[in-house]
Amino acid sequence: MKPPKKSETIEVRVPYGAKTAFADHCRRNGQTVSEAVRSFMEREIGGGQAGRGRTRLWHAFAALAAGLALGAVAAPSLAQTQTPHGSRATFERLDRNGDGVISYDEFRR
């Protein structure tokens, strides 16, 4: 039997840094973001009661979003040590409070 056609989408809003960090993670693991999310969903709803699976799925998505957001906050500060020549002025312009770290709020502005 042929697997069902993939016709539905899910929109999840995450910070840009979190999205790119997750996409890089997936790429390193040899899968697309869609494959990773589908696999996660299948694991969560595959066994057990339907209602329980849905609740666990939402909790897991919330945890995933929180983890990605945390990664997005850390990513700009990690990027500081790897800036190419000539971009120091750009970094200093983004680092509005001069603490040597670009926070998510500074990056967003």
Structure confidence by residue, pLDDT tens digits, 9-44: 888 888 898 888 888 988 998 998 888 888 888 888
- What pLDDT shows up at residue 48? 46
Question: Counting beta carbons within 10 angstroms of the beta carbon of residue 65, is it exposed (0 to 12), middle (13 to 18) or buried (19 or more)?
Answer: middle
Check the CA dihedral 75-76-77-82 and report its sign.
positive
Instruction: Say how many domains are in the chain.
Output: 1
- Long-range Cβ contact pairs of 50-58 (< 8 A, separation 24 or more): none
| pLDDT exceeds cutoff 70 at 74 | no
Residue 25 lies in a domain: yes
**Global pTM value:** 0.41
Domain assignment present for 8: no
Kindly give, in sequence order, each residue whose CB lies less than 8 Å from that of residue 67, ignoring residues fewer than 6 positions away.
none
Domain that holds residue 49: 16-108
